[in-house]
Structure 1
Amino acid sequence: MAMAVTMVVALTGCNDWLEVPVEGKSTSKELFEKGDGYRSVLHGVYMNMAEDVLYGKNLQCGLVDFFSNQYNVNVRNEDLSSRALIAAGNRDYKNTQLTPEIKNLWMSAYKCIGAANGLIQSVSGEDPNKFAKGEMEKNMIEGEAKALRAFIHLDLLRLFAPAPKDDDGNAYIPYVNTFPNILATHMKTREVLDAIIKDLEEARELVKPYDISLYGSGASASGRARFYNQFDYGTTIYTNREELDEFFGGRGYRFSYWAITATLARAYQYKGAYEDSFYDKAKECADEIINCEIVAEDKTKYYPFKEENFDGFFYAERPEEASDIRMVGNLIMGVYRDNVKTGLISNMLSQYPRRKSVVAQDQLFIVNTDGQDIFKTVDNIDESANDIRCTRLLYTPEGAYQTKLSMKWYVKENNVVERDKTLSIFPLLRTSEMRYIIAETLARRNNFAGAYEIINNMREKRGLSGHSLAVKATFDEFQKDLVREAQREWISEGQLFYLYKRLGAGVKRSDNTVKPFTKAESVVPIPTDENL
């Protein structure tokens, strides 16, 4: 892949290890003279992931969610004028406005992969003594880079190749694991999945010594610890807070042992269509996360992913009053971006405005709640008045009418501290997905009572106490309930397209028919001029 490892200026000035020389003013050889150079390059790849073209928008709340029929594209020009987004909403992949966006996504993803490969190849042969924490730090960097490589490949596979249940045996995307690699070989879906899982299994073992240590486990003991370095009393990392090397905090922004395990659960579930036992492997990984127990030095026990808490916005009647909209307690991993320093707040406001008092050319990501019946059960019971995913996690801008936008991306006007805590995190992995994986596997094993117990417990915490779903007797019936829950849970988080595709689930169309995506709809064409 003919590209150089991206050298970027760090966005977070408080962490010295993030300071990276500007491209053109340093060579990779100079950068890797010290162990801190490897830290900087790793951070640079994470920063690239957070760009709009990837997980800062298009693979988060942007293009991929338009692909899923999640947004209403039949609106006034002043609300949505982008021909590319309208084409994405119609899955018109050959549209001349959309094809450059798809190509840019493809190229940017492989650019990140190339940077990770360069890092892996350099760090794997290094002397551990070059790193501040020796072998553990060296392995941690290599493990995170491998996980990053696997994670991006998995999303490329889910976009640009048929789902395993529809595998036609043809080769689609390349799995690139060398640097540089100009003529990458395209591989079959199953081969790519095997490579992804191999990388993730290796990565998990490489990062494990830190993340399960007394010190490292405290960095993941809660959402506040993972994302805000607000460590829990009694953990070793809390006791030694003054000695903390910032590189070993913020585990929610990195591929920790738990984030890699969650990605493995996702990959094994995707592979389940080839061999039923992979669903059990997926459940095993998901169970490990949900049931994770951390024991501190003083024997206090923490369960970092067990409980869900929505108190920050459960009773907030106005968007400005809400807090913890990122729900960091059930967030395993997200990538970080300082939207203020990168000048992107105004861009976010054009998609998620607080008010709409004048005619303007906005690009509103309007959730198509009515067109998709999101807040009606499959038995046609309207739950919109009770489900907090509707009453609290959707909002209508002032001066707008019937325009429901995701509160997850609301740009606060007054509390900029809370605004930046929220909008700087771009979610990648949640415990809700792990719960769905466990429930789906139980349903596949005909344990429908156990599957619905999980789903109904989640619904109760989301305002639907007393609204339990009836236990169904077939997997097809369960799948419909599962998809409806996911439609509510993953609004503007980039997961629905992949869910519909993996399951072959029915999707409601503009003519009110419900049918699965065709192959032409579910497989995004690979850019004709790949030029990796």
Structure 2
Amino acid sequence: MRKGFLKYSLWILVCFSMVACNDWLDVKPKTEMEAEDMFSTEDGFKDALAGVYTAMTKSSLYGRELTYGIVDVVAQQWGGIGSNHRYANALKYEYEATNTKPIIDTLWNGLYNAIANANSILAYIDNSKAVFTGDNKQIIKGEALALRAFMHFDLLRLFCADATSASAEDGIPYVNELTKQVTVSVSPKDVTEQIIKDLKEAATCLANDPVLTGREVSASDDNGYLINRNYHLNYYAVMGLMARVYMYAGNPTEARKSAIAVLEAHENRELFPWSTRGDVLNEKKELRDRTFSTEHLFALNIRKLKDYIEGSFTGTSVPLLMRISPGSLFVAGNDFRSFFFETTNYIGDVPSKLWQMDGITVEGQLYTPKRDRMPMIRLSEMYYIVAECDKATPSVAVARLNEVLANRGYEDTELLDASVVNSGDAVQEEILKEYQREFICEGQLFFYHKRMKDEKLNGYTVNYVFPKPENELEFGK
């Protein structure tokens, strides 16, 4: 992240908060002058964009709660949560409890603050007199639009019952401009339509994204601004997100088209290559690629991840443990993913997917692992989406699932048998198992259960709708 962001972050995060409350009364003209100064140069826009990504990495958002934290808890991913645990009430869907409601309120406020950052970029970029390098103006705009859509989508999935209701009372604000006025809620249906609109415009803006055009960039080009595109919501990440949105909205035809665009780039251009056994199961544990990083369409670079997981998976005698034991979940002995459970503090089967290793020195040479990465959108999800869309022809869907499994270490004799997985329901059952295996610590299992309308999990009747903050109910209607 760019150092210059820190100079300007305060006014964006505080003064441009989109949450419906009286804080708007404190906005002063000085902030407009600061904004004009910030957005007078290309570097200012880059700094502001970096600020959006940085805001998302907080432990209250994707650094914990929206990944391995409360969202995995309510998916019943974790077992052994005792009555004194911070997630004890969340586990039972007691969202109004004093140890749960603040977590949820902070999710709402944090996501809307990050959306405000994106909107600050979009408010200035079209009329900016700044001189941009190459295609950077459109790429920055495309990423800001995609980020706005990404976070509104998670707000929709968390705080609305579904994506189809036409009632504004069931919805949330879709904040697409900077304003001192309260932004009222619109219906989930309207939110979904605006998300798709933003994503389509983002894809148009990203038409010259190097990941799409194939243009080679290096660290010496524009100070390396366009390298490591999977740390940004790049063109193919937008396609992946669009597939996810369409699937959630009940439009498998369009979901399949978007997912296939990613798979074709992967299969024909070798983009987002499968992680290899050597990378994932390196004999030196310090160097293992624990999140299969080459396959990330989009990941957040979370520099504090080592600190964030302390108390959840490291440095504790009561770590989060899988509710379904790894021995039951991973039936293939060679599944790469089954190796990321370790014994620590005399406790077995501790998930080590997010362990942050410091590297190792071999013959005087320091080797560092691929760390500080939180997957947001994965290649494998695109295969699952296409398989689900094709489940009416089970043999076709099974072939898609087996493509993933073969690249997770399955031997030929361990792959799915199309003569056994021979119905749409059987395909769906295998997809559920893959969500349980693939997205540990990533927060996607809850949304899968919600989309499938599973009424009970682990014996609990599921409440899929987080309560909105009181100030939103008071001011935002």
TM-score, normalised to structure 1, is 0.77
- Please give the residue correspondences for 1:250-329 in structure 2 after superposition, counting only pairs within 5 Å: 250-272=228-250, 278-292=251-265, 302-305=269-272, 307-314=274-281, 316=283, 320-329=285-294
Unaligned residue ranges in structure 1 (runs of 5+): 1-10, 219-235, 273-277, 295-300
**Corresponding residue for 1:227?**
none
Distance 1:18 1:526, change over 3 A: closer
Paired residues, what number?
447
Q: How does 1:425-440 map to 2 (within 5 A)?
A: 425-440=373-388
Distance 1:346 1:52, change over 3 A: closer
* Preserved contact between residue 60 and residue 493 of structure 1 (Cα < 8 Å): yes
Deviation at 1:468, TM superposition (A): 2.5
Counterpart residue number, 1:412: 357
Please give the alpha-carbon distance, in whole angstroms, between the structure 1 residues aligned to 2:128 and 2:199. 21
Instruction: From the superposition, tell whether residues 389 and 212 of structure 1 become closer, same or farther in structure 2 (CA, over 3 Å).
Output: closer
Kindly indicate whether the alpha-carbon contact (under 8 Å) linking 2:240 and 2:382 is maintained by their aligned counterparts in 1: yes
The separation in 2 between residues aligned to 1:181 and 1:433, in whole angstroms, is 39
Which of residues 100, 108, 116 in structure 1 aligns to 2:102?
100
1:454 paired with 2:400, answer yes
CA shift in 2, pair 1:421/1:313, >3 Å: closer
- Of residues 36-45 and 136-145 in structure 1, the stretch that sits farther from structure 2 once superposed is 136-145
Residue 275 of structure 1 is matched in structure 2 by: none
1:53 pairs with one of 48, 60, 66: 60
Inter-CA distance 194–250: structure 2 relative to 1 (3 Å threshold): same
Q: Deviation of residue 165 (structure 1)?
A: 7.4
CA contact (8 A) 1:160 1:173 kept: yes
Which of 392, 409, 426 is matched with 1:463 structurally?
409
Alignment of 1:97-176 (within 5 A): 97-127=99-129, 130-133=130-133, 136-164=135-163, 170-176=169-175
CA distance in 2, matches of 1:57, 1:418: 27
Pair 1:487 & 2:440 matched: no
Instruction: Choose which of 21, 27, 42 in structure 1 pairs with 2:34.
Output: 27
State the Cα distance separating 1:398 from its structure 2 match: 3.8
The separation in 1 between residues aligned to 2:381 and 2:368, in whole angstroms, is 25
Specify the SS of the correspondent of 1:529.
Answer: helix
Consecutive unaligned residues of structure 2, counting only runs of 5 or more, are 12-30
Asked if the contact 2:156–2:188 (Cα under 8 Å) also holds between the matched residues in 1, the reply is: yes
SS at match of 1:51: coil
Change (3 A) 1:303 1:411: closer
2:85 aligns with 82
Q: Does 1:39 align with 2:46?
A: yes
Q: Report the Cα offset of residue 479 of structure 1.
A: 1.2
Once residues 222 and 39 of structure 2 are traced to their aligned partners in structure 1, the CA distance between those partners, rounded to angstroms, is 23
Query: Normalization by structure 2: what TM-score?
Result: 0.85
Query: Is residue 123–residue 178 contact of structure 2 (8 Å, CA) maintained in 1?
Result: yes
Partner Cα distance (1:57, 1:88) in 2: 15
1:205 is matched with 204
Shift of 1:162: 1.2
Q: Is structure 2 residue 383 aligned with structure 1 residue 383? A: no
Shift of the alpha carbon at 1:322? 4.5
The answer to whether structure 1 residue 396 and structure 2 residue 403 are counterparts is no
In structure 2, the CA distance between the partners of 1:22 and 1:152, relative to structure 1 (3 Å rule), is closer
Is residue 370 of structure 2 the alignment partner of residue 367 of structure 1?
no
1:399, distance to aligned residue in structure 2 (A) = 1.9
Paired residue for 2:19? none
AA aligned opposite 1:267: V
Identity of matched residues, %: 25
